[in-house]
Amino acid sequence: MYDRIKGFRDFYPGEMAARREAIDTLEDTARSYGFREIGTPALERAELWTDKSGDDIVEELYAFEDQGGRHVALTPELTPTVARMVVAKQQALSKPIKWFSTRPFWRYEQVQQGRQREFYQTNVDIFGSSEPEADAEILAWAADALTGLGLSGEHFEFRISHRDILGGVLEAYADDVDTEAAIRAVDKSDKIETGEYHGLLVDAGLSPGDAEEFADLIATGDLEAVEATADTERVTEAVENLEAVLAAAEDYGAREYCTISLETARGLDYYTGVVFECFDSAGEVSRSIFGGGRYDELLESFGGQPTPAVGVAPGHATLSLLCQRAGVWPEESVATDYYVLSVGDTRSVAAEIARELRDDGHVVEADVAGRSFGAQLGYADSINAETTVIVGERDLENDEITVKDMASGDEVQVPVDAFPGDHARPTIVEFQD
Amino acid sequence: MYDRIKGFRDFYPGEMAARREAIDTLEDTARSYGFREIGTPALERAELWTDKSGDDIVEELYAFEDQGGRHVALTPELTPTVARMVVAKQQALSKPIKWFSTRPFWRYEQVQQGRQREFYQTNVDIFGSSEPEADAEILAWAADALTGLGLSGEHFEFRISHRDILGGVLEAYADDVDTEAAIRAVDKSDKIETGEYHGLLVDAGLSPGDAEEFADLIATGDLEAVEATADTERVTEAVENLEAVLAAAEDYGAREYCTISLETARGLDYYTGVVFECFDSAGEVSRSIFGGGRYDELLESFGGQPTPAVGVAPGHATLSLLCQRAGVWPEESVATDYYVLSVGDTRSVAAEIARELRDDGHVVEADVAGRSFGAQLGYADSINAETTVIVGERDLENDEITVKDMASGDEVQVPVDAFPGDHARPTIVEFQD
């Protein structure tokens, strides 16, 4: 007997039905905003990551040499792929380009609850607009997707910041500070001790006093204080941009979910402007549920024209944990409208009824295993059939069939010609007491 | 600039919309039969194929060693994975087990039209029934899926046979014939010269005279003649099973698409009973569109209890070729119900209208790039917006907006409070001449 690989999941029908409902909610919301679905490869040249991504992602790559000697990698994220796709057709594509897709990604990392080596994300991106409305539309999609799942402001918040606020404030403290190292320190500040955090800031080039002052300042989230302390054009512009995004988010109905949180930095180095992370308001899911932000320089680094971009990518594993804890995760079970039970030489009539019910849009199973009445009824129950249509030889002699409501057990005889007719739904059939 | 890997496709929105429509047709049809969606990993232990699959599939494996030293492979097909999943939960799963899924697979093979190294299939399988109804339901699903795409009996046919007919007839000619080699020869007979075909049969253990007679006999597709020539219980039972499957397919509405074709053998060694292949009736797509059949012994070979199984897996690349040649492939373009055009300081009203239209289930885009009236109208046209709602400052002073039908160019002024109201559809708005 073979086992599956560690960090890879099998999804059986009940769990898959719940996941599909969640994926449909995210995707239908994206479609309603005019985001367009794309399809992308599972393999890319490994150089897409080894050339410019952070060390973490490179260490976790599933990379290998293919039979043609290419150095390839299972994609650990979508952003480089969509960047490549935009660059490949940048003349032909009308902007803004609004794309989404749901698919698996792969990273060789420590397996834990909500983190597998194969994980699913819905990526939603806008290319070609540097306006705050684009950032706000990404936030609005995310908010609508989460409320569409049944979540509310009680359950989640978007912690939002701007990369240039941190960068600009750091710059104001010291010219030669290693901004990326300091931002990585801020990004980790939630998970480490204060002393270690301050130490990392000092390592990045701040004096011990500045490190503490800087840490305290950004912890307040007070945009006015930050702007006044830095007193540079860069920080002022970043604060104005962040405020403009929040104003647009207000118009788009997403402002109420946003909290200014200047410690939100996002680990990936390619973010340039507004960044945000979705957190569990109740704090039960301690790490960020998902994150996103603006990455205006990435496409140019892929050989394209300068193209502003902003996006987000909710992961389905953490999202399902959040939904489960909030009590809004869809039921993990299969649903069946009709089971057509055939006994004796009645297959052709049963098949005709099943076909008509399917044509009416119902989920209909019928016997394909030659089983007894009792075995079929047990199976109908196991697939949560709402109604069982019993097609028996004796009933058929009277041109009748029996329609059984599976919840109550009530049965009613119906002329075979009258079923399903125009009224396929079990509620239409009047059950006897 | 990075390029994508040979044999891997990017799907941009227009083409993806058509593919999604086709995938939805196949999946919705599967759901209507009570097949349940499952989710499966992209990577499995390479031994799932190296232990027992044919040489072809092993040579084409994307196999490598992961960071944990596991010998893994990108899955080239789904069957071993679903077999593993059934075996892992065989006590808990109520039978018959009816599963489907759509996803990519990977084989390092020669790239040509309709054949990429990354390719998508919808797999549909029934486990736990050896009855002819199960085979027939797989055929009925395939027929309904194809007619659901707009194809008809003019466009496709299912060539159907039974593995034991070929095996049994071969056995009747010579006890020591290498059945698998002979079946592989039959499987190739369409693509090679008659002399070479007969030669391969001789290599498999038939005398030259028997090889010719055998080839001629099975070419007729005459079940009675085959049964009489072989005169063995094995062949008689196989013919009876094939006829029983066709009779059930008649009840299920799929018989009209089936042609008995005893040369249909399917390349994979794990098939055991009825096998079939879907061909382009017009012969324009020369190789089989997809195939399927019964594989009753596979699950036991994976360490499970004996579990009969039958399935089919249409590939989306060949299916789209067939649909394109039949003129029924969905239009490769994006669709948009509304573009909400905002000029001046009108964003909050425009956003409110867009939200209401989205809540009504429409696909709605609005400006996120701060562009001019003309640029927005051009963009609305590029995304095939049916209707553009123009929210301008001057109109708003009169509490009005303008609704523009994009096909005719007709415009009408509407009170902002009355739109969209209960009547969001552009047909409801009365355009002036």
Query: DSSP 3-state assignment of B220?
Result: helix
Selected for mutation to probe chain A from B21, B31, B32 (highest A CB count within 10 Å) is B32
Please check whether residue B71 touches A, CB under 8 A. no
Look at A358 and B303 and tell me if their CB atoms are within 8 Å. no
In angstroms, rounded to a whole number, what is the distance separating the alpha carbons of residues A346 and A362? 21
Q: Could you read off the pLDDT of A144-156 as tens digits, one per residue?
A: 999 999 999 999 9
Look at A40 and B348 and tell me if their CB atoms are within 8 Å. no
* Mean pLDDT across B153-167: 92
pLDDT at A429 over 60: no
B-contacting residues in A 205-244 (Cβ below 8 Å): none
Write phi, then psi, for A135 (nearest 5 degrees). -55, -45
Write phi, then psi, for B15 (nearest 5 degrees). -65, -40
Please check whether residue A19 touches B, CB under 8 A. yes
Please check whether residue B334 touches A, CB under 8 A. yes
In angstroms, rounded to a whole number, what is the distance separating the alpha carbons of residues B122 and B105? 11
Position with higher pLDDT, A344 vs B188: A344
Give the ipTM.
Answer: 0.93
Name the residue among A24, A261, A257 with its Cα closest to residue A152.
A257
pLDDT band at B184 (very low <50, low <70, confident <90, very high): confident
- What pLDDT is attached to residue A188? 84
Beta carbon pairs, A and B, within 8 Å = 253
pLDDT at B428 over 50: no
What is the largest distance, in Å, between two alpha-carbon atoms of chain A? Answer: 94
Amino acid occupying residue A336: T
Query: DSSP 3-state assignment of B260?
Result: strand
Q: Could you read off the pLDDT of B279-296 as tens digits, one per residue?
A: 998 776 667 889 999 999
A-contacting residues in B 161-200 (Cβ below 8 Å): none
Give chain A's domains with CATH numbers.
13-326 (3.30.930.10), 336-418 (3.40.50.800)
Look at A351 and B40 and tell me if their CB atoms are within 8 Å. no
A-contacting residues in B 252-311 (Cβ below 8 Å): 252-253, 302-304
pLDDT at A51 over 90: no
Q: Could you read off the pLDDT of B115-151 as tens digits, one per residue?
A: 899 999 999 999 999 999 999 999 999 999 999 999 9
Look at A33 and B64 and tell me if their CB atoms are within 8 Å. no
Distances (CA, A) of B419 to A248, A252, B149, B433: 22, 18, 36, 20
pTM for the full predicted model:
0.93
Please check whether residue A67 touches B, CB under 8 A. yes
pLDDT at A10 over 90: yes
Per-residue tokens: B390: 């123009």
Selected for mutation to probe chain B from A3, A9, A27, A32 (highest B CB count within 10 Å) is A32
Please check whether residue A316 touches B, CB under 8 A. no
Look at A129 and B363 and tell me if their CB atoms are within 8 Å. no
